[in-house]
Amino acid sequence: PIDSPRLTVIGTGYLGATHAICMAALGYEVLGVDVDEEKIAKLQSGETPIFEPGLPELLTKALDSGRLRFTTSYTEAARFGDVHFICVGTPQQAGSDAADVSYVDAAVRSLAPHLDRRALVVGRSTVPVGTAERLTGLLRELAPAGTDVELAWNPEFLREGFAVDDTLHPDRLVFGVASDWAEERLRAAFRPVLEYGAPVVRTDLATAELVKVAANSFLATKISYINAMAEVCEAVGADVKDLADALALDDRIGGRFLKPGLGFGGGCLPKDIRAFAHRAEEMGVGQATSFLREVDKINQRRRARTVDLVGELLGGRIAGARVAAWGAAFKPNSDDIRDAPALEVARTLHGLGADVRVYDPAALGNARRAFPELSYGESALDVARGADVVVLLTEWTEFREVDPDALGAVVDHRRIVDGRHVLNAGRWRAAGWEYRALGRP
């Protein structure tokens, strides 16, 4: 029946696993689909593939309720689902700024030939504008003759660390559709979320695809804007923290995503702005997005500048210095180290001959596997023992709460670089620390 469609979620990575689990928690019958047998076996046994607060508990409940199952079979998926969500990854292509959409294509190619009744296929992945129109053609071509299948686009906006809440209570739902029927089906597939009050923007496929990259570009631009101001502040001896606080009080500007520091990383913002600029160039409107290249460069410069600050605090002697690196994840409440500014700084310092010891509350395992050449420790104080300088790189609450005197007792020199502007400079200086932060005197 139209008011309780059965849902399949294709791709059980970060986005797909969260979507499948949350939809089952809301009461839908859900089938998660992935080509990775190991991942499917883990999920089926109650193990989440990612670190995400609240998700393991919801997975256990959903499995116990019998509403959530996982499979590697597309035949089963096609038979089961009324609405098929595509949630596979679109990473940056090797050697190019373009997004790699081959997993999205593969999902449509695998599913379409098995569809046996009227169904809606819904893309949620972040894709170059124009992909949905192309996939509409592919779907029509590959679905068995006479089956009435349609494609819609419904971008997701979830943040790591808040993925469950962002899925259950999104700021908005964007429905890129080609018919009223598709909109009705989407409304049925999000009924509890809509009842909670999420506003819907109905639009065409291309606009829906663009909303996602335009939103992420805006957020990245806002961060790089304040970081560009940090560069100006540094040149003239002004204080970017006070500047940002003052700008934030203008409610047309607002304080969110206006935190200066080491800048953005992760699996979305950096690759999305590059892919968007690349796609715009392909479409002949490269001028309209050329500022995103600057946004990217400003962001990269923050990493280099943080390494410089460490060098300045060490009197230019990085080689042989003992550096305590606090943080590895690209942001707090996450174990994700994709394009993590923290690890790039740690690796650069290591490359310059420093003895770098890294600690992170959640991402140590991932960091160890990816960069075995670095040293790691089990706590913030542990890695700081005998350190010549401490560098705060990811703004975990636990780092904000460290007592300057307790830390001072284990380090060799009281020097700290606050890469995220989260420590109270006055308090640390009063405790005898040389405190430095990007864009502050």
Under the rule (CB under 6 A), what is the footprint of ligand UDX? 157-160, 216, 219, 223, 257-259, 261, 263-266, 268-269, 330-331
The answer to whether the annotation marks 239 as part of a ligand binding site is: no
- Check the annotation: does 258 bind a ligand: yes
265 annotated ligand binder:
yes
260 assigned ligand-binding residue: yes
CA quadruple 291, 292, 294, 299: dihedral sign: positive
Q: Which is nearer to ligand UDX, 76 or 100 (CB)?
A: 100
Is residue 114 a contact partner of residue 75, using CB atoms and an 8 Å limit? yes
Q: In whole angstroms, how close is the CB of 274 to ligand UDX at the nearest point?
A: 13
Query: Can 233 be counted among the known catalytic residues?
Result: no
CA distance 49 to 195: 30
Q: Identify whether the C-beta of residue 173 lies closer than 8 Å to the C-beta of residue 198.
A: yes
Closest C-alpha among 267, 263, 270 to residue 420: 263
Q: How far is the CB of 165 from ligand UDX (least distance, A)?
A: 12
- 81 or 260: CB nearest ligand UDX: 260
Phi, psi of 140 (to 5 degrees): -65, -40
In degrees and rounded to multiples of 5, residue 31 shows phi and psi of -120, 120
Comparing CB distances to ligand UDX, the nearer of 79 and 159 is 159
DSSP character string of 184-201:
HHHHHHTHHHHHTT--EE
Taking the least distance from each CB to ligand UDX, the nearer of 156 and 388 is: 156
Query: Of 61, 75, 53, whose CA–CA distance to 24 is shortest?
Result: 61
Q: Kindly state the smallest distance separating residue 286's Cβ from ligand UDX, in Å.
A: 23
Structure-block tokens of residue 346: 């740690």
Q: Which of 22, 87, 233, 268 is catalytic?
A: 268
Kindly state the smallest distance separating residue 259's Cβ from ligand UDX, in Å.
Answer: 3
Is 247 labeled as ligand-binding? Answer: no
> Which tokens in the block code for residue 358?
């890294």
- 31 vs 309, beta carbon nearer ligand UDX: 309
Residue 147 annotated in ligand binding: no
**What are the C-alpha distances in Å from 335 to residues 45, 47, 68, 363, 388?**
21, 15, 25, 4, 27
| Residue whose C-alpha is closest to residue 419's, from 256, 304, 339, 276 | 304
Phi-psi region of 82 (alpha: psi -120 to 50; beta: other; left: phi over 0): alpha
Question: Among all residues, which ones are annotated catalytic?
Answer: 268
Which segments are annotated as binding site for substrate? 157-160, 212, 257-261, 265, 331
Which segments are annotated as binding site? 34, 39, 90, 126, 157-160, 212, 257-261, 265, 271, 331, 338
